Structure 1
Amino acid sequence: MGDVIAVTGAGGFLGRAVVARAREKSHPVRAILRGDPPEAWAADPGIDVIRADLRHELPALDGAAAVIHAAARMSGDDAAQARDTVTPSAALLQRAAQAGARLVLVSSISVLGARDLAPFALVDEATPVEPHPERRDAYTRAKLAQERDACEISARYGAQLRIVRPGAIFGAGRLWNAHMGIELGPLVLGPRHAGELPLCWLPHAAQILLLAATRPQAQTIELIHALDDDRPDRARFLAALGRRGLPLGWRGFDMAARALTPLGPRLPGLLRREVLRARLMPLRYANARAHALGFRAEAGLEAAMADARRARA
């Protein structure tokens, strides 16, 4: 089998970065996307562009060494997530497994549950996933369904599978993340504490995904959390953003959400306790498995933020 890397969602924020990283490492790429590809790709014979809407058609995957499945809907209700993410994902991964490719699923650290964690607990790949997905948002439920389907397909076909769970990916054009809290004009309403933000700079996410697609695999299914080495607290991240935060404590957020719990699913997402705890609870994070895969950090927070701002300008 050759070293062709197929990338779904290749025209998206993450997909474009993965394609660029693969080409830097001289891997031929099968870039699968719905819209128009970047103009620069036309000059690169190592990128084979395939236009396909995964909801209605599946691309040919024969000859691909690995498939990095990054296509997914970022918002929408359960019906939209099922139609645009969960169902197409299962079909795509099954075709990839039948073609003999390694499966690399882009999931999310949002699948983890924080309900039974103590403040400042260490979160790693052994942390259980959310036990009550009905209390979370549709995106989290879709990612949990993707992971479940991917594991079933891997077991059915004996396909190697790596589930990569990036933290909050940031880069040019996307600097904000839901772990910060609520934006109130120039201010940010979020808890002040020394917990870490589970950040992943875009080039780091692309690096880890390419390593997941190309490095030897000891177990049939592996979980990898894609996180930066430099994981700041909220105050430092706000300073890097040039924003100001309201100095509220974590306990106040948690107590308010607990008082509102009887209202259940009628509440906006961030006012539901499970959602709030998953996004704002003070925690620590580990990325040892990413390092074991070969990950090497290329920048700390301030340098990564400066690079993102330059690229956006």
Structure 2
Amino acid sequence: MISPIAITGATGFIGRRTVEAARVAGLELRVFARRPETVPAHWRQDAGIDITILDLASTENLADYLDGVQSVIHCAAAMAGDHENDTLEATQTLIEAVVKAEVPHVVLAGSISVYDATTLADGATLDEACKIGVKGRDAYAAAKYEQEDMLHAAAVLHKFSLTKLRLGAVWGPTRLFNAHIGPAFGPVLLRLDGGGTVPLCDVELAAECLVKASQAANGVEALNVVDDALPTRAQFLRAFRASGWPKLVFPLPLAMMRLLAAITPETPEMPGLLRRPILEARHKPLTYSNHLMHKRLGPVTNLPFETAMRNSIKNEQTQ
């Protein structure tokens, strides 16, 4: 067993589950969080969790806390807001600390959003061989691409192992919906559906894979992490509506949106769905392969989609 491991962004949506999964696996942890009030009380009672409160983007002594660490799981990133500070500057600080402390392995909680869907044909399968690129995309995708690129360059230069887990749309209690379904306006959803499946990644699967990857350094590699039973958009909505939302669903043809995007100037001021790179990344009819995930990380837990959604809704409603 490779231990101790460190986890950044430990109290975030993915980080919190990763801490729990790592402790179930018996790993000794050093976890980093920005705000003390976000740390679960039971972590403070666990001798196997060493908690440090700091801001990755501004700390100067992170290397001291990484002394002796065998692997870092890097979950810290912004979903929205200050990507420069919370994703990129935090990652640069981590790189410098990893090099100084001679940490042999980093696992990145990356994103499947780094792929360039415009290079794929309708009906294609997206796997690790597909081209990456985020030209014309939203700030989140651009930041995740640059974050991955920074770590990749550093791993090659400084010769530490890097496992880039390109997570699908991570979901679970409190985060059930995602942008691959369509835009929402109050109780109304516009379902944009041209076929294909939704690249979901159950947060529990993400956590399990991040922990497994921390134990399986393999040079510099990328693995896509998505659920086995990926639903169509119609299947997703049928299960999701048990949450009580949306009240009304109106179908929006993908062909019509593609036509509108084709005649709309691609400028940052335009809504995302009128910008072709964003429209294709979210709604191109694709299937998604997790073959390499299974090959490299071994058996993982995958519930049937309807069961997982039902459990997540129940969990969310009882919180």
For normalisation by structure 2, the TM-score amounts to 0.91
Deviates more, 1:109-118 or 1:262-271: 262-271
- 2:31 is the counterpart of 1:28: no
The separation in 1 between residues aligned to 2:273 and 2:195, in whole angstroms, is 20
CA contact (8 A) 1:7 1:29 kept: yes
CA contact (8 A) 1:235 1:245 kept: no
Match of 2:202? 201
User: What is the SS of the residue equivalent to 1:96?
Assistant: helix
- Aligned pair in 2 of structure 1 residues 295, 250: CA closer, same or farther (>3 Å)? farther
The separation in 1 between residues aligned to 2:30 and 2:229, in whole angstroms, is 32
Match of 2:175? 174
User: What is the SS of the residue equivalent to 1:148?
Assistant: helix
**Aligned Cα RMSD in Å?**
1.6
Render the CA deviation track for 1:234-267: whole Å, top value 9, x for unaligned.
Answer: 000001111453223221121111121x252220
Superposition map of 1:132-171 within 5 A: 133=135, 135-171=136-172
Match of 2:225? 226
Aligned with 1:64 (options 66, 69, 77):
69
- 2:310 is the counterpart of 1:306: yes
Match of 1:279? 282
- 2:94 is the counterpart of 1:92: yes
CA contact (8 A) 2:5 2:30 kept: yes
The separation in 1 between residues aligned to 2:311 and 2:199, in whole angstroms, is 19
Match of 2:55? 53
1:83 CA displacement: 2.3
The separation in 2 between residues aligned to 1:86 and 1:295, in whole angstroms, is 33
User: What is the SS of the residue equivalent to 1:306?
Assistant: helix
1:97 CA displacement: 3.7
CA contact (8 A) 2:181 2:193 kept: no
Aligned with 2:79 (options 74, 84, 90):
74
Aligned with 1:269 (options 268, 272, 275):
272
Match of 1:241? 240
Deviates more, 1:266-275 or 1:183-192: 183-192
Identity percentage of aligned residues? 37
- 2:256 is the counterpart of 1:252: yes
CA contact (8 A) 1:5 1:64 kept: yes
Render the CA deviation track for 1:290-309: whole Å, top value 9, x for unaligned.
Answer: 10121423311111112212
1:56 CA displacement: 1.1
Letter in 1 for 2:276: R
User: What is the SS of the residue equivalent to 1:128?
Assistant: coil
The separation in 1 between residues aligned to 2:93 and 2:45, in whole angstroms, is 31
Aligned with 1:125 (options 121, 128, 144):
128
The separation in 2 between residues aligned to 1:201 and 1:277, in whole angstroms, is 22
Letter in 2 for 1:276: L
Letter in 2 for 1:307: N
CA contact (8 A) 1:4 1:65 kept: yes
- 2:132 is the counterpart of 1:108: no
The separation in 1 between residues aligned to 2:212 and 2:95, in whole angstroms, is 19
User: What is the SS of the residue equivalent to 2:152?
Assistant: helix
The separation in 2 between residues aligned to 1:121 and 1:28, in whole angstroms, is 42
Letter in 1 for 2:92: A
The separation in 1 between residues aligned to 2:261 and 2:307, in whole angstroms, is 36
CA contact (8 A) 1:207 1:295 kept: no
Aligned length in residues: 305
Q: What runs of 5+ residues in structure 1 fail to find an aligned partner? A: none
Letter in 2 for 1:222: E
1:271 CA displacement: 1.9
User: What is the SS of the residue equivalent to 2:73?
Assistant: strand
User: What is the SS of the residue equivalent to 2:22?
Assistant: helix
CA contact (8 A) 1:93 1:103 kept: no
For normalisation by structure 1, the TM-score amounts to 0.93
The separation in 2 between residues aligned to 1:2 and 1:240, in whole angstroms, is 39
Letter in 1 for 2:173: A
The separation in 2 between residues aligned to 1:263 and 1:194, in whole angstroms, is 24
The separation in 2 between residues aligned to 1:104 and 1:142, in whole angstroms, is 17
Letter in 2 for 1:72: A
The separation in 2 between residues aligned to 1:82 and 1:184, in whole angstroms, is 29
